Chains A and B, each alone.
Chain A
Amino acid sequence: MNLADAISAAERGERLPFRAAELLYRDADLLVLGQLAHAARFRHNPARMVTYAVDRNINYTNVCTSGCRFCAFWRPKRHSEAYVLDDEAMAAKLEETRRLGGTQVLFQGGLNPDLDLEWHEARIRLIRSFGLHLHGYSPPEIIFMARSFGLTIDEVLERLIRAGLGSIPGGGAEILVDRVRRQIAPGKATSAEWLEVMASAHRRGIRTTATMMFGHVETLEDRLIHLFRLRSLQDRTAGFTAFIPWPYQPGRDTIKARERGGTEYLRMLAVSRLTLDNFPHVQASWVTQGPDVGQVALFFGADDMGSTMIEENVVAAAGVSHRLNQAEMARLITEAGFQPRQRDTLYRLVEAN
């Protein structure tokens, strides 16, 4: 197989073998990738429409025992900036989210051994009492609970779902290759565990997203293995709603890496759209790329702008801070030639109020 074969395969919408994805990433012109991915986007989602959610991130704690070397957000337990959100602070955030037309909360936090399962269940019920969908607990948090409480993954999921968990975010995937995980996130769930949480959730009818954080110590082959692992799980469960790749944002005290440019992001995005032929949606990461490249990403395979993120803390901790309100989001999408539509976590359109 050569590049021309890989381009033809992508043009015809065929399932890409590993070698084709590799050739496309390495050798195709950026704009050819854009054209192929944009066509693939319309095969999945023929409407000239770009969706987004209105939500807020709530990070319930920054105390974390994982010690990931790429993360600028976490604090050790006794650090002066360590926190666990109390109910009052959470209620204020939830009220504001509802007032701003939000439909969901992205609820994630560090691996904090002081929080028991009952604490989590009470927080879930609090969020649900505001009528908001709870998109929360990435696989590493669920694995951590299973380990800490001596439960199986299924038992933890069962409890959280019963309390009101609606869907699971695809965070903590980083790169689903254990050699890479040992280097950057030694204390975190393994790739098999991450995939197992998602498989269990999908079996229970809980939809999830999947992410990839690239541009640190991994190779191109690692990135592609990541995509192929996701594709094969999705073949079995069809529970992923969307894929969200973004480049690692080097912070002041985190692992050193060359900051990735806009073009490397767009290449990876386009190859993801082409490879993950069984994922309904691919999101643009305006939070890491800024609104300009976030908008351009709509021509490189993305059909969704993620969410407005009334609050975002994790990327901001690495010194990257972009802000978009709902009107700005709609304007960006319209200006790019698409119809903007608010959606909920499960990609159902929200009627304009």
Chain B
Amino acid sequence: MKNLLNLDWGLEATLERVTDSDLRRVGRKMFAGERLDRSDGLVCLETDDVPGLGSLALAAKRARYGDRVFYVVNHHLNYTNTCVNACRFCAFHRPPGAADAYVLSPNEAANRIASSGVADLKEIHLVGGVNPALNFEYYLDLLRALKAVSPDITIKAFTAVEIHQIAIQAKLPAPECLAALNEAGLSAMTGGGAEVFSERVRQELFPNKIGADDWLAIHGTAHRLGIGSNATLLFGHIETRSERMDHLLRLRDQQDETGGFRAFIPLVFHAPNTGLSHIPRVGGVEILKTVATARLVLDNFPHIKAYWIMLGLKLAQTALHFGADDLEGTIVQEKITHEAGATTAAGLSRQDLEDLIRSAGFVPTERNTFHQAVEAA
């Protein structure tokens, strides 16, 4: 990272306005182009100077993109809600054989997209449960059918957790499995299923799901094949700030090694209808601190998303001042967070997203999956 303090960007004034002296030291280090360490990250998460933290993250964001904020015209699609993992924080999954369990056939999935009426759709975000009833051919057919809807639509599909399952079904090593999926139409991988990289939390909340090592290895494999991916953190349940920090550092290490992560997406835990419904929702301040800390610590991640479905529109907009540079997208039909009581809309129009970005004081930039700006249609 370059030393930004030599540039005349008013960074000295930004530092002077930071009231927490520890945080000011972290800011100076960051602007000087030094990498933040674990204790610096904890200073960020623990500071009382919330606007000060935001101003540092915003400066880091502006150094990359100026006042641009990205969004994508996309469609979320969940091909199955059947899942054997039964994670305690999830309200979306149904056990095999449940009355409301479903699987979309490749044709049904393609029809959903074809009949969605979204103009100039750029991306399908495709994720589902770990469903052992689905064989390898199903996944390949699903991708081919979606790809056939339009060659202009990029398919960003599957979490590392699903890739792990698909590879088992395919009886293939992960690299071969990913290469076959890539061939069938998968162009990027989603960032879900990371949860928190803490074995303590995993044992308590998602013991049946792959852990940090497997999750990171699959993303590393994808990156080596030239398949880019995202990364997430599910926070606001039983994890500690220190565990959140460890998570960020492991992502940063992986990114140093394989470099294929495009965006980091902090996911806010929604309790209703999950096995953890007694946990109160983490507040807006902690959410903004986590977004800002991610921007500062993940110096090798190009993008930080404010996922409006989980943050709510007002807070997502505020997060754009705390280091986030991407509002995710139109989404159209969100199910996973809505099963857990989300009160946001299931989708937004391109106009809605642009208005949100503009009224927050930024310049909306439509992008594709690869964060290339899309020419106005």
Please give the residue numbers on chain A whose beta carbons come within 8 Å of chain B beta carbons, in ascending order: 29-32, 34-35, 38-39, 48, 258, 260-266, 289-296, 298-300, 328, 331-332, 335-337
Contact = CB atoms under 8 A, between A and B. Distances in A.
A34 B54 CA distance: 10
Chain B's interface: helix, strand, loop or mixed, by majority? helix
Given A292-B284, A295-B285, A299-B51, A32 B314 contact: no
Contact of A336 (B285, B317, B321, B355): B285
B269 to A, nearest CB: 13
Contact of A337 (B48, B52, B280): B48
21 contacts: A29-B58, A30-B360, A32-B17, A32-B55, A35-B17, A35-B55, A261-B314, A261-B317, A261-B360, A263-B318, A263-B360, A264-B359, A266-B318, A289-B314, A291-B283, A293-B284, A294-B284, A298-B285, A300-B51, A331-B280, A335-B285
Contact of A38 (B51, B311, B321): B51
B317 A262 contact: yes
Chain A's interface: helix, strand, loop or mixed, by majority? helix
B57 to A, nearest CB: 9
Contacts of A263: 317-318, 320-321, 359-361
A303 to B, nearest CB: 14
B205 interface: no
Interface in B260-281: 280-281
B95 interface: no
Nearest to B18: A35
A113 to B, nearest CB: 39
Contacts of B54: 31, 34
Contacts of A292: 283-284, 287, 311-312, 314-315
B359 A260 contact: yes
A30 B285 contact: no
Interface of B: 17, 19, 48, 50-52, 54-55, 58, 280-288, 311-315, 317-318, 320-321, 355-356, 359-361
Q: Most B CB atoms within 10 A — which of A299, A332, A335? A: A299
B55 A296 contact: no
Contacts of B58: 29, 31
Contacts of B321: 29-31, 263
B285 A290 contact: no
A55 B17 CA distance: 38
Nearest to A42: B19
A328 B280 contact: yes
Given A263-B359, A292-B283, A34 B51 contact: yes
Contacts of A293: 284, 312, 314-315, 318
Contacts of A298: 285
A39 B52 CA distance: 12
Contacts of B314: 261-262, 265, 289-290, 292-293
A261 B356 contact: yes
B234 to A, nearest CB: 17
B313 A261 contact: yes
Contacts of A300: 51
Nearest to B268: A292
A296 B288 contact: yes
Contact of A290 (B55, B312, B317, B355): B312
